[in-house]
């Protein structure tokens, strides 16, 4: 069965996954871009966005693994775009241009119906109005045995953690302080949810932590 995993999710030292005041001008919130500098510098990110060069090494290894064995994604609506409320028209098709980096089906949580969008490179955005569990179920079916990546944002990951749906998380803790924004783990008891650290690697740009959920013991 497909696993639901969080990969390459960046946090500030003080635990925020996005800065305050998210908008079209600041899609990651004010100061949020700094959380992702470790990823932007990698060769994998540069190739993904049509660039050349980029750094290799530990950061790049994690960035590349973030896309391995992934057959579908689940995104909260804020990760798809800044539009709120009913869709005013069909012009907004994501932050990433005509060829988004996913190249697999992507299931976007929303309260407002919208027809699916076929993009270049194999990405198809489907809009799910009946909740997170339904989106995960559809993504697992679409993944055809591969894993499903939960891309965020913060509130979507928190909801999935509380529901016991996430089986593994890779968190990249960046050397930045935000002071406010969206806290990923405030009030969440990860050990009580069964998570334990299985790997950690540090670089000049991030501390990479991989947390996995222990399987429930058999009867």
Q: pLDDT, tens digit, for every residue of 132-170?
A: 999 999 999 999 999 999 999 999 999 999 999 999 999
Confidence (pTM): 0.93
Please provide residue 188's backbone torsions phi and psi, each rounded to the nearest 5 degrees: -105, 125
pLDDT classification of 217: cutoffs 50, 70, 90: low
User: Phi and psi dihedrals of 198, rounded to 5?
Assistant: -115, -15
Task: Using the predicted structure, report yes or no on whether residue 103 has a pLDDT greater than 90.
Answer: yes
Q: Domain ranges in the chain?
A: 4-20+28-82+98-213
Report pLDDT for 216.
Answer: 59
Least confident residue range of 50-54, 57-61, 108-112: 50-54
- Kindly state the percentage of the chain with pLDDT values over 70: 98
Q: Is the link from the previous residue into 205 a cis peptide, with omega within 30 of 0?
A: no
* CA distance linking residue 168 with residue 165, whole number of Å: 9
Please give the structure tokens belonging to residue 168.
């593994």
**C-alpha distances in Å from residue 213, one per residue of 3, 132, 165, 170:** 11, 19, 10, 12
Q: What is the pLDDT of residues 4-24, one digit of tens each?
A: 999 999 999 999 999 988 777
Q: Determine the topology of domain 4-20+28-82+98-213 in CATH.
A: Dihydrofolate Reductase, subunit A (3.40.430)
d(CA 161, CA 219): 24
Residue 183 tokens read as 């806290």
């Amino acid at each position: 069965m497909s696993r639901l995993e969080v990969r390459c999710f960046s946090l500030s030292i003080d635990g925020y996954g996005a800065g305050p005041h998210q908008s079209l001008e600041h899609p990651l919130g004010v100061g949020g871009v700094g959380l992702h500098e470790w990823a932007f510098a990698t060769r994998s990110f540069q190739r993904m966005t049509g660039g050349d060069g980029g750094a290799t090494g530990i950061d790049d290894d994690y960035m590349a693994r973030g896309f391995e064995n992934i057959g579908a994604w689940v995104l909260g609506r804020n990760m798809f775009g800044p539009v709120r409320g009913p869709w005013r028209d069909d012009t907004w098709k994501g932050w990433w241009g005509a060829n988004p980096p996913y190249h697999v089906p992507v299931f976007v949580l929303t309260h407002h119906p919208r027809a699916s969008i076929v993009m270049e490179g194999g990405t198809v955005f489907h809009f799910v109005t009946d909740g997170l569990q339904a989106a995960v179920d559809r993504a697992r079916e679409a993944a055809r045995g591969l894993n499903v990546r939960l891309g965020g944002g913060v509130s979507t990951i928190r909801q999935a953690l509380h529901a016991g749906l996430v089986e593994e998380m890779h968190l990249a803790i960046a050397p930045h302080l935000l002071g406010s924004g969206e806290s990923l783990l405030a009030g969440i008891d990860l050990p009580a949810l069964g998570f334990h650290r299985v790997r950690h690697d540090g670089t000049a740009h991030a501390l990479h932590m991989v947390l996995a959920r222990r399987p429930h013991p058999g009867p």
